[in-house]
A and B are shown apart, each in its own frame.
Chain A
C-alpha cells in the first residue's frame, strides 16, 4: 500500500513537468497574440489610461436607467453598483470614464438633480500622461521585483537548477494568472497591477519551502521529503486561499480596488499549487535523482 503511489509517482512525475510547461507555452502564445491585438498585456481601466472615477452614494436612483443614459453621452463609460454586504441593498454607484471631471460632472448632476459634494460623493481624476507614466513605472517595479527576487533565490540556494525551478514556477504563476485575468475580461487598475507584485511574494514562499526541505534535509527518501513539503505547502496555500476568498466575498460589492487585488491573488494561489507541486517538484526530483539521490 505504501509503495504503490510512490512507484506511480516515480514513473510519471515527468508528466507533472511537461503538462504545466505546455500550459505555460500556450499561455505565452496567448499573451503575445493578446498583446498584438490590444497593444498591451492587459485591459486597462481609467486609473491606468487617465480619466475620472465618480462614486455617488444614492440608494434610490435606478442605476440601469442611469447607465444607459450615460452610455448615450459617454460611450466609454461604465457603471458599477455598490451594495450593503449583509442586506444587498443599494448604497450607490461608481462611474468610470475617460472624460474629464468638468465634462461628466455637470451631465451627471443634471440627471441626478442635485449637486455633487463631499458628503454625497467622491471624485477621483487622473491625467492621461501621469496614468500611463505610473503604469509604466509599476511594470518596471514588477520586473525589478522579479529580478531582485531571482537574485536572492540564487544567493540562497547557490545551485542553478533548483534556483531556476523556483524562479520558473513564480514566472509561470504570473503568466498563467495574467491569461485568466485577460480571459475574464478584467480591466485592471493600478491596484490590480500591484496585486501581481504581491503574487511574487506569495508564490515564492512554497517553492522555497520545497527546495529547502529537499536539498537541505537528509531525512527520509526524496519522495517522502516532497510529500512532507507538499503537506506543509498545501496547508499554507489553503489557508491563504481561505483568507483571500473570505475577504473577496466580504468586499465584493464594496470596493472594486480590493476586489481586484483579492481576485488576482486568488487566481495566482490556485496556479501556485500546480506550479509548485508539479513544475517545481518535478524539476527538483529529476535533479536530485540524477545526482543519485544524494545531495
Chain B
C-alpha cells in the first residue's frame, strides 16, 4: 500500500499525541506542594519531584507514604527522616509530619477534572458588581490566603459568563478542608480597636509579619476544663509596621490605669468581620510605648480536651491567615459548591470506558454487516481510535482537565466521526461514472459543511454557565477539527487505495 502525504500526516499526528500524553510507568509518589515552613523546602525539595523511599522503606503509593509517616510520628518525638527522591536525597529532624502534600505518580499526562478525580469546586460571586481588574485582585488575594492557609494544590481563576456576571472559580483537588466554605467566603476584615478607635487592621500595611509554625512565638498555651467540656488558649506574636505601632502608642498614651494598677483602663478589642472575637488587657507598662511586637490571644473549645486543642489550633491558623493576608474588599457568596468523592469518579470512568468500548465494538459490527468489507471496517475503527488519541494528546498538551462534559464531547465526536467516514465509504462505493478523486472531493464537501455547522453551534457554549461546560465544546471542536484536517483526508486516501 502506498503511504500518501495525508496518511503520513495522520501518522505524525498520532506520534505527536503519544508524546504529549507521555505514558509513564514510574513508581513512587509525586510531590504536589511543599510548605514554605517545611525543613525540606529549605533543603530545596520542590513540587514535581518523585519520592522513591522514606527511611529506606520503598514508597509506591500515597497509602505507603501516609502509612510510613503515620507510624513515625505517633508519639510526638523528634525523628530523623531521610527522603530519597529520583534525583536527590534530603534529611531532616522533625517531630511532626513534614509539611508536604503528595499524590500518586500519574500514569500519563492526561489530567482528569474534579468530577472524575474527586475534590471540591466552588463558584463564588461578590455581592457587588466588579470590574475585570477587581476580579483579578480578588483572585490574587484569595490565592494568597489559600497559600498562607497551607493549600497550594488549588486552581483559582476569574470567569465571566454569557450575561457578563463575574465569578471566581475555585477548584481543589483531593481532600477538601472541612472549613472550606468559611475560608472561601469570609471577607476576613480584621480590626483591632481601643475604645471606638481602630488601632490597626489586617494586611501588610499595618502588620509586617505574623509568627506561625514556631513554638517560641505561636502556640497553644494552656488547656482547662470548662462547663461544656474543655477550652484551650492560644497566643501568637504579630509584628506591626512602625506607623501602626506609633498609632497604637498614641492611643494608649491617653488612657488611665485600671483599679488594679496592672493594666490600662481600656482593652484592645479584636474584630473579625465586625464581630468581636476577643479582648486583650493592655499591660500598664505599655502605656504610650511604641512597640512593634504584640501578642494576639484567642481560644478554642470542645467536648474533649483533644477536640478543644484541635479547634484552638484551627482558630489560630485562621486568625493568622486573616491577619497576614488582609481582608477582601467585599462580601462573597458561594453560589455553587460541589464536593465530589473520588469514588464517584472511579465509577464514572469505568462505566464510560465500558460504554465507549462496547459502542465502538457494536458500531463496527454494524459497519461490517452493512459493507461486508473487513479491511474498510477495520480502518474505520482504527481511525475512530486515532481520533480519541489525538483529542487526548491535544488536551494533555494544552493542560486541559478532562471532566464529564469533556468526555461527553469525546463520545459525540466519535459518533460524528464514524458518520462522516460512512459518507466517504459510500461515496467511494457509488456508481463509478466519475473518478474516485471527484467523489472523494464531494464527500469532503459534505464533511466540511457539517464541520462548519457543528463548530458554530458549539461556540456559544464556551461562555454559557461560567464555562462549566466549556469542556464539551473544547473536546468536540478539537475532535472534529482533527477530523476534517487529519483523519478524514487520511481515511479518504485509505479508501482510494483500496478502490484502486
- Interface residue ranges, A against B (CB under 8 Å): 55, 57, 85, 91, 101, 118-127, 129-130, 133-134, 136-138, 140-142, 144-146, 148-149, 151-153, 156, 190-191, 194, 197-198, 200-202, 204-205, 208-209, 212-213, 216-217, 219-220, 228, 231-232, 235-236, 238-240, 242-244, 246-247, 250-251, 254-255, 257-258, 261
* B339-379 to A contact mask, C-beta < 8 Å, 1/0: 11111100110011011101110110011001000000000
Is A124 a contact of B341 with CB atoms below 8 Å?
Answer: no
The residues of A that contact B123 with a CB separation of less than 8 Å are 130
What distance in Å separates the Cβ of A254 from its nearest Cβ neighbour in chain B?
Answer: 4
Is A232 a contact of B465 with CB atoms below 8 Å?
Answer: no
A22 to B426, CA, bound (A): 33
> Taking the complex as formed, is B434 at the interface, i.e. its CB lies under 8 A from any CB of chain A?
yes
**A153 touching B336 in the complex, CB below 8 Å, given contacts A216-B445, A219-B431, A243-B418:** no
Is B363 a contact of A194 with CB atoms below 8 Å?
Answer: no
Task: Identify the closest chain B residue to A86 (Cβ).
Answer: B354
A128 to B356, CA, bound (A): 34
A201 to B419, CA, bound (A): 12
Task: Identify the closest chain A residue to B162 (Cβ).
Answer: A137
Task: Identify the closest chain A residue to B413 (Cβ).
Answer: A201
What distance in Å separates the Cβ of B113 from its nearest Cβ neighbour in chain A?
Answer: 13
The residues of B that contact A190 with a CB separation of less than 8 Å are 465, 468-469
Is B453 a contact of A149 with CB atoms below 8 Å?
Answer: yes
A208 to B445, CA, bound (A): 10
CB-based closest 10 A-B pairs:
A145-B457, A148-B456, A141-B460, A243-B359, A232-B426, A247-B355, A130-B335, A250-B355, A141-B464, A144-B460
- Interface residue ranges, B against A (CB under 8 Å): 118, 123, 125, 161-163, 165, 175-176, 333-344, 347-348, 351-352, 354-356, 358-360, 362-363, 366-367, 370, 404-405, 408, 411-412, 414-416, 418-420, 422-423, 426-427, 430-431, 433-434, 442, 445-446, 449-450, 452-454, 456-461, 463-466, 468-469, 472
What distance in Å separates the Cβ of B486 from its nearest Cβ neighbour in chain A?
Answer: 19
A101 to B426, CA, bound (A): 55
Q: Is the interface of B mostly helix, strand, loop or mixed?
A: helix
Is B338 a contact of A239 with CB atoms below 8 Å?
Answer: no
Is A140 a contact of B341 with CB atoms below 8 Å?
Answer: no
Known A125-B338, A191-B408; further 10 A-B contacts with Cβ < 8 A? A123-B337, A129-B335, A194-B461, A205-B450, A235-B367, A235-B422, A239-B363, A242-B363, A243-B414, A255-B351
The residues of A that contact B333 with a CB separation of less than 8 Å are 127
What distance in Å separates the Cβ of A252 from its nearest Cβ neighbour in chain B?
Answer: 9
A194 to B475, CA, bound (A): 14
**A201 touching B453 in the complex, CB below 8 Å, given contacts A125-B337, A219-B431:** yes
Is B454 a contact of A201 with CB atoms below 8 Å?
Answer: yes
Which listed residue (B161, B362, B416, B422) contacts A246, Cβ 8 A? B362
